[in-house]
Amino acid sequence: MDSLRFKSARILVVGDAMLDQYWFGDADRISPEAPVPVVRITHQENRLGGAANVALNIASVGAKPSLLCVVGEDKAGHELETLALQSGINPLFQFDPELTTTTKLRIVARQQQMVRCDFEALPHQEILTQHLSLFDKILAEHQILLLSDYGKGGLSHITHMIEQARAKNIPILVDPKGSDYERYRGATVITPNRAELQQVVGCWSSEQDLTDRAQSLRHHLGLKYLLLTRSEEGMTLYSDAGTLTVPTQAREVYDVSGAGDTVIAVSATMLAIGSDITEAIQTANRAAGIVVGKLGTASVSYEELFGND
């Protein structure tokens, strides 16, 4: 795969960006105050999370992502912007002075996550309106629109965004959240995992039942594709052509957090350089198999994915 093709890919990522904080340490005693381990912190890391991790995965394989999101006018929000710039992402941040930037703090001892603390709030409507105005101005500069929904309020105007992208014939990929999939109507691809799809279509009793439910949802929402990520079972693509299942390529599963980000990011990148959907999901599946072998939210590089060709 020619790396130069990736450098021309322009992908607009819109959604809920967050800061992933990791505090690493040792735990070798129980607290005298409560039956919990005492973790002596030895070092800390800040990483891009949520929609920002999606953008990082795009940048890591050599493409050019722009990240449009609302964050707080706080230390975490500015740290996100700095990390994005350092990672080759074009940060189009709307800063809300009354918002607390979504932050997930994970305390890890001996490679085992002990606890996660979440800090979050919903952005204000005035900032979201500015956010939408900027979206309308820059959409046409991109080949792909990727909507990363984490249910934190950053995609309140998602219906308008999908309509605008469809009007410009720009493919739309959505990583969904929650049970209201009507808001994704008209997208090109949605990429739910098993739990997310089950929340919408109910439990299935067999592979054929799953296919029937997935295809029915796809037709109902006017989607071209539905890509179901299935963890150790790989992923299945539902389309007018039928179903295509790609088995997992993970050699060792260490941490599945962020794997969905990698799947949609690499799929979008492959489509942006002109690959068909089959090649796109096969490459994304390979990328996911690499990233689950890493701790926490992570990305895959061009060299890991394609070697040095």
In order, the DSSP letters of 4-32 are HHHHT-EEEEEE-EEEEEEEEEEEEEE-S
Residue 127: partners with Cβ closer than 8 Å, 6 or more residues away:
70, 94, 95, 96, 99
Is 261 one of the catalytic residues? yes
- The CA dihedral of 53, 59, 63, 64, to the nearest 10 degrees, is 80
Distance CA 41, CA 211 (A): 47
* Contact of 203 with 175, CB cutoff 8 Å: no
Q: Say which of 16, 20, 175, 261 is annotated catalytic.
A: 261
Q: Are 242 and 235 in contact (CB under 8 A)?
A: no
Residue count of the chain, please give it.
Answer: 309
- Picking from 84, 9, 99, 100, the residue whose alpha carbon sits closest to that of residue 51 is 84
Residue 268 makes CB contacts below 8 A (sequence gap 6+) with 11, 58, 144, 146, 173
User: Which residues are identified as catalytic?
Assistant: 261
